[in-house]
Amino acid sequence: MTVSGEEVPPQHQVFINYRGDELRKSFLGFVVKAMREAKINVFTDEIEVKGRDLQNLFRRIEESRVAVAILSERYTESSWCLDELVKMKEQMDQDKLVVIPIFYRLDATNCKRLVGTFGDNFRNLEREYRSEPERVKKWKEALISIPQKVGLTLEGHRYF
């Protein structure tokens, strides 16, 4: 993988999983900038084409040592985010990846219990994908498992 034209050694790479429509032009920029200033190689899916490059993103997750899942209120609107989260959980379960959740303007309890807007969005997506019950089951397992890890809760507007 390359970032800024340089080969990125996997042992230094961080994969960031986030809801693009909600965070791409706001909080994500601060996270990426801070990591790059600290000389941490970061991968975000800015250049991937939605729907076509999910396997490519899975490869990026497999190449990473650390993944940061930025869970936000609208996160569960996206099957793309949830598929990435499932892959992250699989890698974590095999001790191949450290996953760090960040709860961005989201109560971690709402995430674990799938309640509030976060849960409502998940149930809407669950209905949309009712013909794929195994996929939905994996999403739910990942959403319950990942927040059990030590994470960060960020609230307010001080990041903008």
Task: State the pLDDT at residue 78.
Answer: 93
Which pLDDT band holds residue 47 (cuts at 50, 70, 90)? low
**Greater pLDDT, 135 or 9:** 135
Give catalytic residues, as residue numbers: 84
Q: How far is CA 23 from CA 42, 59, 72, 128, in A?
A: 16, 23, 9, 23
Q: Which domains does the chain have, with CATH numbers?
A: 2-154 (3.40.50.10140)
Specify the pTM.
0.82
- How distant is the alpha carbon of residue 94 from its chain centre? 18
**Greater pLDDT, 52 or 73:** 73
Name the phi and psi angles at 73, rounded to 5: -55, -40
pLDDT digits (tens, 9 = 90+) for 72-128: 999 999 999 999 999 999 999 999 999 999 999 888 888 889 999 999 999 999 999
Name the phi and psi angles at 43, rounded to 5: -120, 125
Per 3-state DSSP, the chain is made up of helix, strand and coil in percentages (nearest 5) of 50, 20, 30
pLDDT digits (tens, 9 = 90+) for 16-45: 989 877 777 778 888 888 888 988 888 887
Q: Is the pLDDT of residue 159 over 60?
A: no
Separation CA 34–CA 90 (nearest Å): 28
Separation CA 77–CA 95 (nearest Å): 28
Separation CA 111–CA 128 (nearest Å): 20
Question: Closest Cα to residue 11, out of 51, 53, 63?
Answer: 63
Question: Closest Cα to residue 84, out of 44, 114, 113, 27?
Answer: 44
